[in-house]
Chain A
């Protein structure tokens, strides 16, 4: 099995890419996409911890994060 730390590293690198895009990009839509990238990185670490400790609660949290993101969809807002 793949160790937990690899998933956490992947999640951290994705989060850093999102932060870099948020800070460096000039287009507002690309900034929103960077925020999406950060949310996805956090979701990956949630699922990795859920698999590590055999708790399904992590996946339920991912579900709530996605529901929150969908709530912001009609306004076209970023998931902040």
Chain B
């Protein structure tokens, strides 16, 4: 019963954040509502017994990715977006069709609910996931580490001051520039 109550509360918060992301015009408001969505999704993961995923969700999404988004918004000085008028085809065909399809799918799903089995004590802790990662999924894990190494190297190369942004002028051009300077001096 407590699971139901918590599920519905945080599902409502999650959906509210997602709809607010669509409704807001300024990107910083959208970013803040996305943080709300990710936090409530972390609670949903906890309700499913996935503690590791919930913690990683908070650390990576709310900690790293959202900080990047806020930095980019502040650096690019993104303003309020302008709206265009929606197309008539979407209004006549798209929205009723999507509504009908969504109602059909949700009717089918709610009518025959498959109960999830209660979560055991040995399910979902970090050590079980670690064991799985290092036994069955060892190859994808190693490939991921190489991928992260590529990302680090790319960041270093992009941010390096050795990287020549503007090409050096050719020797003849340099002489021309020097001649122009001496002419302006005289």
Residues of A within 8 A of B (CB): 1-10, 12-14, 16-18, 20-21, 24-27, 29-30, 32-34, 36-37, 40, 43-44, 47-48, 50-52, 54, 56-57, 59-60, 62-64, 66-76
CA distance A61 to B11 in the complex (A): 22
- Nearest Cβ on chain B to A8's Cβ, whole angstroms: 6
A74 and B144 form a contact (CB under 8 A) = no
| A8, A33, A62, A76 — most chain B CB neighbours (10 Å) | A33
Q: How many residues of B contact A (CB 8 A)?
A: 75
Secondary structure at chain B's binding surface: helix, strand, loop or mixed?
A: helix
A10 and B124 form a contact (CB under 8 A) = no
Proximity string of chain B (4-48) to chain A, C-beta cutoff 8 Å, 1 when within and 0 when not: 100100010011001101100001001100100110010011011
Contact A70 to B109, CB < 8 A, known contacts A7-B48, A33-B21, A47-B45: no
Q: Which residues of B contact A43 (CB under 8 A)?
A: 41, 53, 57
Given contacts A54-B120, A74-B151, 10 further A-B pairs with CB under 8 A are: A26-B81, A30-B21, A33-B27, A50-B50, A59-B52, A60-B129, A60-B133, A63-B129, A74-B154, A75-B154
